[in-house]
């Protein structure tokens, strides 16, 4: 199963996780793992998700999550896991 | 499993340190387009390029989305056109029609540059080679996206000095014909010694005759990433310095390898090589000269620069080679002047001269790149500069190149503006003593003794 990494970075505010998770649930994207920290008021979250069940094209999900991020006031990135695996694992 | 900090590190490199894939270059063989009828050649070349490369740009954009990494350029390289047009072209004008066809095909598929308006004349010129070379000024001036290169020498063959002398005239002519645009056509023309068949970077990319029908080559970049990594080890010894560069080069190259494999899979075209070059851009922080400064120099060009660059180049290769299954092209640090703000600053400050740049080219990839010289520099002096650079490549068994811009109507202290990725360049002083009698001798310089390894 190919996994996807979603990162959310920005100023902490109420409901960030709720809004992102709602979007994922609405699009049949299953969350496998979440880790999150707050450093000096900055919200930093990484989700590992499975996009195999969604009907949407990957590029569309990237764009929609980007738009959602701008609405909340945070930066949301959605990338295939391989780029991180390749870079950090031999 | 990947953790939050590793993800953050990668994304930081992309967002703040200008990590990108500089180019996906699709190499296309045009050998099957050869015909004695010029109209047929033009038609076949156009059809082949627009068929093979039709999904290139779209695929590049899809990969950018998938991995969240910018792929700055999507480009095409083709078989040297002196081969392709050899049977059909009877005049320079005939060759120019091929250049226009390449330009039209490049625009149709949406790539920003197409390389391969080239001739390989390291030992001698055929009639077709010479016609193509003589057509270069007009070909570059009547097209937008076509890039031209000429291989003038190699370790195995020596240096074709007749061609070197001719290129002195051609480069000047190319500058004159585009003088209204700051002689900008010269940016699209490069001469080589030991030109690689699989280089994805422009202006020197062409699809070598030893290559398969179509191939994906990828050029990575990331001077900003190396610089940022080195900021964390200021004052540490050379061992730490080298380890840091190596690890960073590994990470950067892995991204190139991933993109190359993905592009190869999506386009169903074989993966050729990753070119692990540190390619700067005029953007602040995307500079090879800044890395040299971070290593400990006040400016690029200061004493110690050649040693620092040698170290940098070697560590980039050591880190990069393990990161990719096939490494090729130019692979090393690029030191273009106009495309690197740190290099421009060094020239303006008086720290960097052409002679020092020439020394630097002994230890890094390519050569005298994107530098402007006074417009009244004699053609023979340009040929002399080329001959010096070719000699460095020939004797050291490495690729060297010259991409030089005689700034017509301008002198030392003035500057030429190219815009975008090409930046701007201050006009640099050239040694005023003549080499006319030397370059006018004619013939070729024999291959060096160490080329006889059989």
DSSP-assigned states of every residue in B145-180: SEEEEEEEEETTTEEEHHHHHHHHHHHHHHHHHTGG
Structure letter (DSSP) for residue B427 = B
pLDDT digits (tens, 9 = 90+) for B144-179: 999 999 999 999 999 999 999 999 999 999 999 999
Q: What is the mean pLDDT of residues B376-396?
A: 97
A to B CB pairs, distance under 8 Å: 64
Residue in the block written with tokens 């003549």 = B434
φ/ψ (deg, to 5) at B233: -120, 30
What six digits make up the tokens of A76?
């949301």
- List residues bridging with B140 in a β-sheet: none
Nearest-by-CA chain A residue for B250: A87
pLDDT digits (tens, 9 = 90+) for B32-49: 999 999 999 999 999 999
What percent of chain B stands above pLDDT 90? Answer: 87
Residue in the block written with tokens 């031209």 = B148
Cβ-in-10-Å burial (0-12, 13-18, 19+) of B239 comes to exposed
Nearest-by-CA chain B residue for A45: B4
pLDDT digits (tens, 9 = 90+) for B324-350: 989 988 888 899 999 899 999 999 999
Q: What is the mean pLDDT of residues B296-318?
A: 96
Q: Are strands B415-417 and B424-426 parallel, antiparallel or unpaired?
A: antiparallel
Residues of A in contact with B6 (CB under 8 A): 84, 87-88
What six digits make up the tokens of A64?
């929609």
B254 and A86: CB-CB below 8 Å?
Answer: yes
Give, for B311, the enclosing helix (H) or strand (E). Answer: helix B305-323
CA distances from B50 to B34, B58, B106, B430 (A): 17, 13, 8, 43
pLDDT digits (tens, 9 = 90+) for B168-218: 999 999 999 999 999 999 999 999 999 999 999 999 999 999 999 999 999
A8 CA: distance to closest CA in chain B (Å) = 10
A35 and B4: CB-CB below 8 Å?
Answer: yes
CA pair distance A43, B162, nearest whole angstrom: 65
Q: How does DSSP assign B234-279, residue by residue?
A: TT--HHHHHHHHHHHHHHHHHHHHHHHHHHHHHHT--EEEEE--B-
Mean pLDDT of chain B: 94
Question: What pLDDT is recorded for position B332?
Answer: 85
What percent of chain B stands above pLDDT 70? Answer: 100
- On whether the pTM is more than 0.90, the answer is yes
CA pair distance A32, B204, nearest whole angstrom: 47
Give, for B318, the enclosing helix (H) or strand (E). Answer: helix B305-323
Residues of A in contact with B251 (CB under 8 A): 87-88
Q: Say if A27 is an interface residue toward chain B (CB within 8 Å).
A: no
What six digits make up the tokens of B367?
């050569």
Nearest-by-CA chain B residue for A6: B7
pLDDT digits (tens, 9 = 90+) for B282-304: 888 889 999 999 999 999 999 99
What six digits make up the tokens of B330?
């130019």
Q: Say if A64 is an interface residue toward chain B (CB within 8 Å).
A: no
Q: Say if B37 is an interface residue toward chain A (CB within 8 Å).
A: no
Indicate which of A5, A67, A86 best probes the interface with B, i.e. most B CBs within 10 Å of its own CB.
A86
The domain ranges of chain B are 22-193, 219-443
Q: How does DSSP assign B47-75, residue by residue?
A: HHHHHHTTTHHHHHHHHHHHHT--EEEEE
Which residue in the set A37, A46, A58 is minimally distant from B7, CB to CB?
A46
ipTM score of complex: 0.90
Q: Say if A85 is an interface residue toward chain B (CB within 8 Å).
A: yes
The answer to whether A69 and A75 are in contact (CB under 8 A) is yes
φ/ψ (deg, to 5) at B68: 65, 30
Q: Does the pLDDT at position B69 exceed 90?
A: yes
Question: What pLDDT is recorded for position A1?
Answer: 67
What six digits make up the tokens of B317?
């290769």
Q: Say if B69 is an interface residue toward chain A (CB within 8 Å).
A: yes
Residues of B in contact with A5 (CB under 8 A): 2, 7
Higher pLDDT, B360 or B277: B360
Question: What pLDDT is recorded for position B365?
Answer: 79
- Structural domain B22-193, CATH architecture: Alpha-Beta Barrel (3.20)
- The one-digit pLDDT tens for each residue of chain A (90 residues) are 689 999 999 998 899 999 999 999 999 999 999 998 887 778 899 999 999 999 999 999 999 999 999 999 999 999 999 999 999 988
Q: Which domains occur in chain A, in start order?
A: 4-88 (3.30.70.260)
CA pair distance B292, B298, nearest whole angstrom: 9
B321 CA: distance to closest CA in chain A (Å) = 13
Residues of B in contact with A77 (CB under 8 A): 11, 68
Higher pLDDT, B329 or B104: B104
CA pair distance B249, B265, nearest whole angstrom: 24
φ/ψ (deg, to 5) at B208: -60, 155
Q: What is the mean pLDDT of residues B224-250?
A: 95
A59 and B65: CB-CB below 8 Å?
Answer: yes
Q: Say if B307 is an interface residue toward chain A (CB within 8 Å).
A: no
Which residue in the set A36, A62, A87 is minimally distant from B10, CB to CB?
A87
* Identical fold between B22-193 and B219-443: yes
The answer to whether A77 and B68 are in contact (CB under 8 A) is yes
Q: What CATH code would you report for B219-443? A: 3.20.70.20
Q: Residue B69: which residues within 8 A CB-CB, separation 6 or more? A: A83, B14, B19, B20, B21, B63, B255, B259
CA pair distance A83, A35, nearest whole angstrom: 19
Question: What pLDDT is recorded for position B277?
Answer: 86
Q: Which residues of A5-33 are buried (b: 16+ CB within 10 A; e: fewer)?
A: bbbbbbeeeeebeebbeebbeebebeeee
Q: Which of B218, B200, B301 is nearest to B262 (CA)?
A: B218
């Amino acid at each position: 199963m190919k996994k996807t990494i979603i990162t959310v970075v920005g100023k902490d505010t109420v409901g960030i996780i709720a809004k992102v998770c709602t979007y994922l649930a609405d699009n049949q994207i299953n969350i496998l793992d979440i880790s999150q920290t707050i450093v000096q008021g900055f919200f930093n979250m990484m989700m590992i998700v499975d996009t195999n069940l969604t009907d949407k094209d990957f590029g569309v999900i990237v764009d929609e999550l980007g738009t959602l991020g701008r609405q909340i006031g945070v930066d949301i990135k959605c990338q295939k896991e391989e780029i991180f695996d390749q870079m950090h694992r031999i | 499993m990947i953790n939050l900090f590793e993800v953050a590190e990668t994304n930081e490199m992309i967002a703040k340190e200008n990590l990108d894939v500089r180019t996906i270059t699709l190499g296309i063989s045009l050998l099957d387009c050869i015909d004695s009828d010029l109209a047929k050649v033009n038609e076949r070349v156009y059809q082949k390029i627009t068929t093979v490369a039709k999904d290139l740009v779209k695929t590049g954009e899809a990969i950018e989305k998938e991995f969240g990494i910018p792929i700055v350029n999507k480009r095409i390289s083709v078989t040297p056109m002196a081969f392709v047009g050899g049977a059909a072209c009877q005049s320079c004008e005939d060759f120019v029609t091929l250049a226009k066809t390449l330009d039209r095909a490049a625009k149709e598929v949406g790539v920003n540059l197409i390389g391969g308006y080239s001739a390989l004349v390291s030992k001698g010129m055929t009639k077709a080679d010479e016609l193509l070379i003589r057509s270069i000024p007009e070909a570059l001036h009547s097209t937008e996206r076509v890039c031209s290169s000429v291989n003038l020498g190699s370790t195995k063959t020596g240096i074709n000095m007749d061609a070197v002398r001719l290129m002195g005239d051609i480069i000047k002519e190319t500058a004159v014909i585009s003088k209204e645009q700051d002689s900008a056509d010269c940016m699209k023309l490069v001469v080589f010694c030991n030109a690689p068949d699989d280089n994805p970077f422009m202006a020197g990319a062409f699809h070598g005759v030893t290559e398969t029908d179509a191939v994906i080559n990828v050029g990575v970049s990331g001077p900003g990433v190396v610089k940022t990594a080195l900021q964390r080890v200021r004052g540490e010894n050379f061992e730490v310095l080298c380890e840091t560069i190596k690890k960073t080069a590994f990470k950067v190259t892995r991204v190139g390898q991933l993109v190359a494999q993905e592009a190869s899979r999506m386009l169903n075209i074989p993966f050729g090589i990753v070119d692990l070059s540190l390619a700067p851009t005029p953007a602040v922080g995307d500079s090879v000269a800044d890395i040299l400064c971070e290593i400990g120099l006040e400016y690029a060009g200061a004493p110690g620069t050649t040693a620092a660059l040698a170290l940098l180049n070697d560590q980039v290769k050591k880190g990069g080679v393990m990161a990719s299954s096939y490494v090729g092209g130019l692979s090393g640090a690029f030191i273009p002047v106009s495309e690197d703000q740190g290099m421009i600053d060094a020239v303006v400050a008086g720290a960097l001269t052409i002679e020092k740049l020439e020394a630097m080219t002994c230890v890094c990839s390519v050569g005298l790149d994107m530098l402007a010289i006074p417009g009244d520099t004699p053609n023979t002096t340009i040929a002399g500069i080329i001959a010096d650079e070719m000699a460095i490549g020939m004797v050291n068994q490495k690729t060297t190149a010259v991409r030089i811009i005689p700034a017509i109507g301008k002198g030392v202290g003035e500057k030429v503006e190219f815009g975008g990725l090409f930046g701007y360049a201050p006009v640099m002083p050239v040694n005023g003593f003549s080499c006319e009698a030397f370059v006018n001798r004619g013939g070729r310089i024999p291959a060096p003794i160490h080329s006889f390894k059989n």
